[in-house]
Amino acid sequence: MIRKPTSILQANVNHWARAQDLLLYTITEDRFELTVVSEPYRVPEHPDWITNQTGSVSVVRGNHTNSATLRALAQGRGFVLAAWGELKIAGIYAPPSWSLIAFEKMLSKIHKKIAPATNNQKMLILGDFNAKSSAWGSPNTDPRGHAFAEWAASLDLRLLNNGDTNTCVRWQGESIVDLSWASPITQQVGKWEVLEGKETLSDHLYIAIHLRRPGSHTPRHPLRTASTNIKEERTPPPGRKWAVKRMNSDLLVAAARVAA
């Protein structure tokens, strides 16, 4: 029997109601078992939703699954940490308006929560960091990118992002700010992909992470340190000045039904 991999979705709905409605429809329709969503429009009081102190990032368990329950472990400004079976999930959202000091303060708090666990527990750290670095395909590295790369290295985290597909597409330009990380022993990641053809009604694209179940023959996704992919700073390649995604009328109708 072929066993379907566990699917985890990573999203940012930009605090927009219709984008969240569409996300909930996508979670149900495509049977994602767990979702990390940055900037949710609303956070329902439900055991399958665990959010941080300010409601800026949530971990959501799919309502169609009979998998392990979701438990809150820690909640702070910009992050939430949850347990889902043997897997620990950290959801992170660092607004671009934060100063570098505020960003580093958040990283320090997360470090204290997860440092003892990263070497001997399976963990995924997912979110919108608003940090740019050549280590994950950005054309240049900003101060946040430097700070975050050093932080990830201190925890020996492995980067799942591969290639240089932009995860945020807006009229001002495109960027890679949505990142996925794993602890060294998280070896069951089978595939990581940016869902470029999936409408989100947000300026962020969905990211899907597929975990290999025991007994699966799915090839393992390569895990690497941030330094593995560091490139020389380069001039941004020529590309689209305006990024206008085509709207899928069927999905818009579905989203409207969910909202209703």
Q: Which pLDDT value is given to residue 112?
A: 92
Q: Which pLDDT value is given to residue 67?
A: 75
Q: Which pLDDT value is given to residue 238?
A: 36
Question: Could you tell me the pTM of the whole model?
Answer: 0.82
Q: Which pLDDT value is given to residue 99?
A: 97
Cα→Cα distances 74→3, 52, 83, Å:
32, 8, 10
Q: How many residues does the chain have?
A: 260
Consecutive 10-residue runs of the chain (260 residues): their mean pLDDT?
A: 72 97 95 96 94 96 82 95 93 97 97 80 94 93 96 93 90 92 80 94 96 60 54 37 41 47
Q: Which pLDDT value is given to residue 159?
A: 94
Q: Which pLDDT value is given to residue 228?
A: 47
Q: Which pLDDT value is given to residue 30?
A: 93
C-alpha span between 12 and 15 (Å, rounded)? 8
Q: Long-range contacts: 23-32, Cβ < 8 Å, 24+?
A: 23/200, 24/258, 25/251, 25/254, 25/255, 25/258, 26/198, 26/206, 27/60, 27/62, 28/62, 28/63, 28/64, 29/254, 31/7, 31/62, 31/64, 31/65, 32/7, 32/8, 32/62, 32/208
CATH number of this structure's domain 6-259: 3.60.10.10
